[in-house]
């Protein structure tokens, strides 16, 4: 594989992770394009699962997060689920830290919550800013007869590259080019998010020092410290908003009434993509392909860069490196989809059963928040990729240890 020119579209966690990964490959000439005027992140909290911590350590970004920048529950649980009417703790999914046992989760990789801006900055600090072009809103991608991709931006700037990485979110322009018939739409649910101070939340009695879901029949409230004196309050509700239902506990109503400012996010989604590769040289990662969160996005770009590195080491084509990416990530997402289908079936059953508040909440927690799904947070993509490459008889340690330029 000759020198490779790569355009990364979007500077969220997926795009920043891709930039860091490609910086480790001497044969890749990459550029990161972002439509915003500055590199920054808005929003509320974000989870850093053990699987994500491992990748942040690999990227060098974990060292940019200080203990005060995130929150870990005192008892190391992943999450707690409470009945939103009674406040009763229904389940608490714990973690065990075994710092000297390979099968356990090291203490440094235990689940944590942080503000999205903190994670974003930790990644930005590892990115070569000279390769970032801001105020760049992508308007078109054209496949040329030569096989190259011509990308054009709203300000008239054009570039010609070998590979386009669509890391531009749920309303991806790159996806529109790759799969023009794919449409996203409002799913009938809305998220309301805000950040308050730790001092403000302390004025509400009964708020646990925990990562907490407060469940209702048609809505839930999520509360958690984020470190650095911040506390997040997030709801997810079908419309019209139902979190003000009279049956919710006083503590839930007090939490919801506390913020002076709340941001509303209508939730959008589209049909599942059977493929996340198009035209042989367009790859979708993160929310552009599967709306699954920052941790999944970092796994995507890790495998993509390692797949391309593997192809280069074996003197194979770019296409073969991209196909390795699909070979590794495709089965994983299909497994997740099966779980989502199970959740949808459970929702339909619960809805048809016409349960009351408490029975609906219990059935929801039992069917959708089982500990058997904890494997998702602990999934080791580095181990999986190594096993796939070993099965090909061509694993090279350099692929995982390429020095950053």
Query: Which CATH number goes with the domain that contains 315?
Result: 3.50.50.60
In a domain, 374, yes or no: no
pLDDT one digit per residue (tens) for the chain, 405 residues = 568 999 999 999 999 999 999 999 999 999 999 999 988 776 789 999 999 999 999 999 999 999 999 999 998 888 999 999 999 999 998 776 544 434 467 889 999 999 999 999 999 999 999 999 999 999 999 999 999 999 999 999 999 999 999 999 988 999 999 999 888 888 889 999 999 999 999 999 999 999 999 999 989 999 999 999 999 999 999 876 555 557 899 999 999 999 999 999 888 888 888 888 988 899 999 999 887 788 999 999 999 999 999 999 999 999 999 999 999 998 888 888 889 899 999 999 998 998 999 999 999 999 998 877 877 877 899 999 999 999 887 555 444 444 332
Cβ contact 273:299 at 8 Å:
no
Cβ contact 33:7 at 8 Å:
yes
Position 2 scores a pLDDT of 67
One domain, residues 60 and 178: no
One domain, residues 57 and 147: no
One domain, residues 331 and 280: yes
Rounded CA separation 18/303 (Å): 10
In a domain, 263, yes or no: yes
One domain, residues 25 and 168: yes
pTM for the structure as a whole = 0.90
Rounded CA separation 82/233 (Å): 15
In a domain, 48, yes or no: yes
DSSP notation for 24-42: T-TTEEEEEE-SSSS----
Structural domains of the chain, count: 2
In a domain, 117, yes or no: yes
In a domain, 317, yes or no: yes
One domain, residues 259 and 332: no
| 3 state SS of 151 | strand
Question: Two tokens at 10?
Answer: 């979007």
In a domain, 20, yes or no: yes
Domain span including residue 79: 43-122+185-269
Domain-terminating residue out of 298, 331, 346: 346
DSSP assignment letter at 331: H
Domain-terminating residue out of 248, 269, 290: 269
**How far is residue 115 from each of residues 48, 120, 286, 294, 310, measured CA to CA in Å?**
10, 9, 19, 12, 35
In a domain, 351, yes or no: no
One domain, residues 102 and 208: yes
In a domain, 390, yes or no: no
Residues contacting 26, CB < 8 A, separation 6+? 402, 405
Rounded CA separation 154/133 (Å): 13
One domain, residues 153 and 291: yes
One domain, residues 165 and 254: no
- For strand 185-197 and strand 212-215, is the pairing parallel, antiparallel, or unpaired? unpaired
Query: Which CATH number goes with the domain that contains 85?
Result: 3.30.9.30
Domain-terminating residue out of 346, 373, 400: 346
One domain, residues 76 and 96: yes
**What phi, psi does 36 have (nearest 5°)?**
-70, 160
């Amino acid at each position: 594989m000759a020198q490779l020119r790569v355009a990364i579209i979007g500077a969220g966690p997926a795009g920043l992770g891709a930039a860091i990964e490609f910086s480790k490959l001497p044969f890749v000439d990459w550029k990161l394009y972002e439509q915003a005027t500055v590199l920054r992140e808005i929003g509320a909290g974000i989870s850093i699962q053990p699987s994500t911590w491992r990748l942040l350590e690999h990227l060098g970004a974990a060292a940019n997060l200080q203990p005060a920048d995130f929150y870990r529950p005192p008892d190391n649980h992943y999450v707690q689920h409470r009945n939103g009417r009674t406040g009763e703790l229904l389940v608490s999914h714990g973690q065990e830290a075994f710092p000297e046992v390979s099968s356990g989760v090291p203490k440094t990789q235990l689940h944590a919550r942080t503000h999205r801006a903190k994670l974003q900055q930790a990644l930005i600090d590892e990115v070569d800013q000279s390769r970032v072009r801001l105020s760049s809103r992508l308007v078109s991608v054209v496949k040329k007869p030569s096989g190259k991709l011509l990308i054009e931006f709203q300000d008239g700037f054009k570039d010609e590259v070998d590979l386009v990485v669509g890391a531009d979110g749920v309303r991806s322009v790159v996806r529109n080019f790759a799969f023009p018939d794919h449409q996203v739409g409002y799913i009938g649910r809305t998220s309301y998010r805000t950040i308050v101070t730790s001092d403000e939340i302390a004025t509400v009695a009964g708020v646990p020092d925990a990562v907490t879901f407060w469940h209702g029949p048609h809505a839930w409230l999520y509360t958690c410290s984020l470190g650095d004196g911040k506390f997040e309050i997030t709801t997810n509700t079908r419309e019209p908003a139902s979190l003000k239902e009279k049956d919710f506990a006083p503590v839930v109503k007090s939490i919801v009434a506390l913020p002076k400012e709340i941001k509303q996010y209508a939730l959008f989604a589209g049909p599942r993509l059977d493929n996340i590769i198009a035209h042989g040289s367009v790859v979708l990662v993160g929310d552009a392909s599967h709306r699954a969160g920052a941790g999944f996005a970092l796994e995507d770009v890790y495998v993509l860069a390692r797949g391309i590195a593997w192809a280069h080491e074996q003197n194979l084509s770019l296409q073969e490196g991209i196909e390795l990416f699909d070979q590794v990530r495709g089965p994983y997402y299909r497994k997740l989809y099966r779980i989502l289908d199970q959740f949808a079936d459970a929702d339909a059953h619960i809805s048809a059963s016409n349960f009351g508040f408490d029975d609906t909440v219990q059935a929801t927690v039992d069917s959708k928040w089982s500990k058997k799904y904890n494997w998702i947070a602990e999934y080791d993509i580095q181990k999986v990729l190594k096993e796939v490459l070993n099965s090909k008889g061509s694993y090279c340690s350099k692929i995982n240890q390429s020095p950053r330029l």
